[in-house]
């Protein structure tokens, strides 16, 4: 949940955030990368808060 909260804060601030930048936010705060990143981004996607754009490898915050 902590990783999801970190990502949500970054996404709300920037609206569009690249995959690498979002991964670095989680890695910097937790010293883990994919172990926490993938489940957290999946949770945000399933909740309808983010959308992934493959063309520019970034996430967009679409929540309210």
**E strands, 1-64, in order:** 16-18, 50-53, 58-61
Residues forming beta bridges with residue 52, ordered by sequence position:
59
Coil vs helix vs strand at 62: coil
**Angle, vertex CA 50, rays to CA 44 and CA 52, nearest 5:** 115
Per residue in 6-59, pLDDT (tens digit) is 999 999 998 899 999 999 999 999 887 788 899 999 999 999 999 999 999 999
Sorted by where each starts, the structural domains of the chain and their CATH numbers stand as: 2-61 (1.10.10.10)
Q: Higher-confidence residue: 63 or 29?
A: 29
């Amino acid at each position: 949940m902590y990783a999801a909260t970190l990502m949500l804060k970054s996404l709300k601030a920037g609206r569009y955030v690249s995959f690498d930048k979002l991964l670095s936010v989680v890695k910097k705060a937790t010293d883990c990368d994919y172990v926490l990143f993938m489940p957290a981004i999946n949770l945000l996607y399933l909740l309808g808060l983010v959308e992934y754009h493959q063309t520019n490898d970034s996430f967009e915050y679409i929540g309210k």
